[in-house]
Amino acid sequence: MADFKNGMCIKFNNDIFQVVEFLHVKPGKGAAFVRTKLKSVSTGRVLENTFPSNAKIEEVRVERREYQYLYKEGDMFNFMNNETFEQIAIEEKLINNAPLLLEGMICSITFDANEERPMTCELPMTTIQEVTYTEPGLKGDTATNALKPCTVESGAKVMVPLFVNTGDKIKINTADNSYIERAK
């Protein structure tokens, strides 16, 4: 029986996939199988696949390490390990939501432990950034859930409520680039 676990990485179709969710199914007739949802580590694409219960899966050993974002050079982003001071450069496509990166931000980088190759870079769940530009809100313009675009200090565009002004600090969800609240 293939031992699937959420979060484990496997080699499948010449790519590395992370198991997002799985379900062991034992029908009344026929052999048992495992229904999975897999996310490609290289492209982020999610696919569903069914494995027979006796399938041989090749697990990929991965390690997560904390790195601090330093600077962007061309289309590469440079990070440093704060314990070893070793620096690595990562392509933008491996970083989830790269426009929200700020110098000094601590990110979690997942490595293929066998090849010491970075596979993904996750930003913290939230970031607090200053609004560098947004249209001023009009007095009395308090329609519920009305949003306007703004630019934050990292250069990313975020939709915010009408009461947010240039100079305010706001908390942003890095998973979907959404406004959470004004920061204290």
**89, pLDDT greater than 80:** yes
- Residue 95 DSSP code: B
Q: What domains are there in the chain, each with its CATH number?
A: 9-60 (2.30.30.30), 63-122 (2.40.50.140), 127-182 (2.40.50.140)
pLDDT at residue 142, rounded to an integer: 61
Phi, psi angles (nearest 5°) of residue 99? -60, -20
Q: Is the pLDDT of residue 138 over 70?
A: no
Q: Of 170, 62, 181, 161, whose CA–CA distance to 119 is shortest?
A: 62
Q: Residue 110: its pLDDT value, please?
A: 87
Residue 2: the pLDDT is: 61
Q: What percentage of the chain carries pLDDT values higher than 70? A: 95
pTM over cut 0.75: no
Each residue's pLDDT tens digit, 101-125: 999 999 999 888 888 888 888 899 9
Tell whether the model's pLDDT for residue 140 goes beyond 70: no
Which of 163, 177, 161 is closest to 126 using CA atoms? 177
Over residues 43-80, the pLDDT tens digits come to: 778 899 999 988 888 888 888 899 999 999 998 999 99
Q: Determine the average pLDDT of the residues in 126-138.
A: 89
H or E segment to which residue 111 belongs: strand 106-112
* Residues 139-156, mean pLDDT to the nearest whole number: 81
Q: Which of 158, 176, 177 is nearest to 168 (CA)?
A: 158
Q: Determine the pLDDT at residue 81.
A: 94
In whole numbers, what is the pLDDT of the chain averaged over residues?
88
What's the confidence (pLDDT) of residue 84?
A: 93
Q: What is the CA radius of gyration of the chain?
A: 21
